[in-house]
Structure 1
Amino acid sequence: MNTQRIQPKSKVDGEIAVPSSKSYAQRAIALAGLNKNSTRIKHLTSSSDVIAAKAVIEELGAKFVSSENEIILSKGIDFNQNNELSINCHESGLSTRLFSAFSLLFPQNFQVYGSGSIQQRTMEMVISGLEEFGKKVSSKNSKLPLDISGEIQNQMVEIDGSISSQFLTGLLITSPFLVQDTHIKVHNLKSIPYVDMTIELMESFGLKVAHNNYENFYIKGNQSIANQIEYTVEGDWSAASFHIVAAAIGGKMELTGLMQNSLQGDRAILDAVKTAGANVFWKEDRLNIEQNEILPFTFDATECPDLFPPLVVLAAFANGKSTMKGVRRLEHKESNRGITLQKELAKVGVVIDLNDDEMIIHGKGRPEIQEELVFSSYNDHRIAMAMSLFSIGNKNDLYIENPLAIEKSYPDFYNDFLTI
């Protein structure tokens, strides 16, 4: 059995440099691929999702060199290819949906592949969106692989944003490079902070997008990235959330690399842990979290569903009932995280009720591990990291099955967590 041993911790106390945001990094790599000039992207953590994004633009003809924490592109994507195109986004949900939109930039057949759990996740919003433009898409029951062909026939399209905003991100990034202007009408858009991130990053590359209350987006065609770009990726609030909760339930932590005014939706973790009683303060650009009380809390995670795993652990350590909203956003992740969290927390005696879009966590104070315990990660990076937090204040070892799932977003998590 492939497992990671996590030894018990009486407390956490340390300083950690937060890895760079994989959400910003993948967007920046996509935009760099569309730049006719050179692009340098700095502070780049080589998670598997970032590696997948780099592989895609290379498959599309981009030329670059990578070092430990940066990438320098000397040549963007080659739009003069005549052969059929094929990209493999591996297990990255964002890259799969984002780079599927790149098929709009090519008249020839364009195939999109993936691996692992992404092959079981619906691509219905991608397929219907591309068909709105006039493309023809064949798939495996609305799942990968996708075979995309045909030419653009429409410049005004309507898409569904209820499951994910990732395909909209792809459309926003590619539309400036189309010949015609584009009008995108979006129904029931979720994850608005991620759309703000996309627009902010596009503007830093010199591209313009207008929108009306996130319902109608207007993008002028024939835009280009006119300059050499140097971009530094900010720290990842999603990765930081696990250390923030670790401090809230068992000590103190100082985190570097995060932006106080970040547009990342997962910055809302600070509101949640403060509501749950933790002390949170900044020392210049360093975030400090200290344990105080651990109180039950109510939190709406609809716009930041990746916070469910760490916050469910926080709720488990509170004595009483905590309520979180946004459960419907969890079904189409690396695992069905609502059910996954329900099953795994039962191992420490914590009951979770799932009521439509609401999750109720019946916290026990401090869940105790009476003997060595094995948690399944379900090959889900955020589940693997979250379950590791149950080592805090316990007396027995715990183990994480399929521990390398963390490489998707935070390859150094165990190194960082085990040394604080």
Structure 2
Amino acid sequence: MIAAALTDGRTRLTGVPEGDDIRAAISAVGALGARTNGSGDHLEVRGLPDHQGLTGTATGSGDATMVSVGESGTLLRFLTAAAATAPGPITITGSGRIRERPVAGLVAALEALGADVETSKGYAPLTVRPGRFEGGKVRVAARESSQFASALLLAAPRAARGIAIELESDPVSASYLDLTVSVMARCGVAVERPGPRRFRVAAGARYRPGEHRISGDWTTASYFFAAAAIAPGRVTVDGLDPESPQGERGFSEILRRMGCEVTEEPAGDGVRVTVTGARRLRGVTVDMGSLPDAAPTLAAVAPFAEGPTRIGGIGHLRHKESDRIAALAEGLRRLGARVATQDDALAIEPPEGTAALVPGTMDPHGDHRIAMALALTGLRVPGVRIGNPEVVAKSFPGFWDALSQLGARVARREDG
């Protein structure tokens, strides 16, 4: 949607999912000057022509356009960079923990490229004012989020001189940078990669209008794969892209290592994945730095395995909608699992000796992924309760209905 907003022409998207983040993104591209129209899973985006953007002198002034990104850290970063190309000032705010989400590294890079950004001590709310988005060479922090670099790449075709990015370190969530590069290529912009930490978008590169199908989300699929492992049972998910660079594509392979059977077969323009659970699961040690959004899902499976499961490389999950490491540890301990935490890791074991897992009330701490992951434990521990279940609307408002369709008994209680 950000790429489409920076395209001179109409871009048609199909397969657009529902969710609060999507609605926030539609408002965000409107603040950039794009127009949107659509219904169901179809969305048309008419982007802002180049001559109205800031490849030259600023064309807008006056009061800033206010836009909320809700609780989407991704949108916060992407919109901040894209706003540097807009013809008028934009003030970006949000809700939940959005004022705690790191953005200073991105702002520093944007200012080095000619943008004018004012923050609240390095955090949102922030205001991006018209200036000359020159482009050029820039070093970008990458330890906190790969989204700093992704945001700059997405805005690069509107820079006056193109952009050359060098990451200061190996990035967290590196697979998401691959995903950004893939989306840009689909929209007509080639990203050169002269080195493992270097990216370049040439001056004059421009997005092309077109039609794009949004493929199924491997992170969303992970909840159903995990359900098959926990129950145990068998679940099939259609509509996935076998060539997707999304790191969460590797989650089913982790379940295979734990003892599940996993099969893939062509289905339409994608792949159909079936996961069959095993009567006995094995604990695993895995670095999930490249598939961090599936880390809560694996944590929900871990208490049902024989032996410990260690999930490493996830330190940046402490700065999401919640401190996900702490929230997962709290929830799984309520079940009776043994959990040890480190700055960037979780180690999870089932209860000791003959003790069994027990139901409890889980606090998702306002985090959609914590709510969905911990809910899966109820497939083997009847009576698990999730407080504030509405938080799933951020990314997957149909989650509870989908869980019911698998045969789970999901009941809403008036007392929460």
Q: Do they fold alike, i.e. is TM over 0.5?
A: yes
What is the match of residue 3 of structure 2?
31
Which one scores higher on RCO, CA 8 angstroms, separation ≥ 6? 1
Query: In the alignment, what sits opposite 2:190?
Result: 208
1:125 CA displacement: 1.8
Instruction: Name the structure 2 match of 1:17.
Output: none
User: How far does residue 124 in structure 1 lie from its aligned partner after superposition?
Assistant: 1.9
> Is residue 2:241 matched to residue 1:259?
yes
Counterpart CA distance in 2 for 1:151 and 1:397 is 58
Q: 1:133 aligns with which of 66, 89, 113?
A: 113
RMSD of aligned C-alpha atoms? Answer: 2.0
**Does the CA-based 8 Å contact 2:165-2:198 persist in structure 1?**
yes
- Does structure 1 residue 143 correspond to structure 2 residue 123? yes
Q: Percent identity?
A: 27
2: CA distance, partners of 1:217 / 1:223: 14
Aligned partners of 1:291 and 1:327: how far apart in 2? 26
CA distance in structure 2 between the aligned counterparts of 1:324 and 1:377, rounded to whole angstroms: 19
Distance 1:137 1:175 in 2: 17
Work out whether 1:287 is the aligned partner of 2:273: yes
Normalising by structure 2, we get a TM-score of 0.88
Residue 337 (structure 1) aligned with residue 360 (structure 2):
no
TM-score normalised by the chain length of structure 1: 0.87
**Residue 401 of structure 1: which of 387, 411, 416 is its match?**
387
Structure 1 unpaired stretches of 5+: 1-28
Residue number in structure 1 paired with 2:18: 46
Please list, as runs of the form range in 1=range in 2, the aligned pairs for 1:360-399 lying within 5 A after superposition: 360-364=347-351, 368=356, 370=358, 373-394=360-381, 396-399=382-385
Q: How does 1:4-403 map to 2 (within 5 A)?
A: 29-76=1-48, 79=53, 81-83=60-62, 84-106=64-86, 108-149=88-129, 150-152=131-133, 155-188=136-169, 189-226=171-208, 228-250=209-231, 251-284=233-266, 285-292=271-278, 293-364=280-351, 368=356, 370=358, 373-394=360-381, 396-403=382-389
- In the alignment of these two chains, the number of paired residues is 389
Q: Which runs of 5+ in 2 are unaligned?
A: 54-58, 407-416
Secondary structure in 1 aligned to 2:23? helix
Return the alpha-carbon distance in structure 2 between the equivalents of residues 85 and 184 of structure 1. 29
Measure the CA separation in 2 of the matches of 1:363 and 1:97: 38
**Letter of the 1:116 counterpart:** G
CA distance 1:154–1:56, change in 2 (3 Å)? closer
Whole-angstrom distance in 2 between the partners of 1:302 and 1:98? 21
Instruction: Single out whichever of 73-82 and 49-58 deviates more from structure 2.
Output: 73-82
Relative distance call for 1:339 and 1:367 in structure 2 (3 A) is farther
Counterpart in 2 of 1:413?
A: 399
* Partner SS state of residue 217, structure 1: strand
Q: State the 1:387 CA deviation.
A: 1.0
Instruction: Please give the alpha-carbon distance, in whole angstroms, between the structure 2 residues aligned to 1:368 and 1:132.
Output: 56
Tell me the CA shift for residue 86 of structure 1: 3.6
Once residues 370 and 381 of structure 1 are traced to their aligned partners in structure 2, the CA distance between those partners, rounded to angstroms, is: 23
Q: Note the C-alpha offset of 1:391.
A: 1.2
Partner SS, residue 212 of structure 2: strand
Q: Partner letter of residue 123 of structure 1? A: V
Q: Which amino acid aligns with 2:391?
A: A
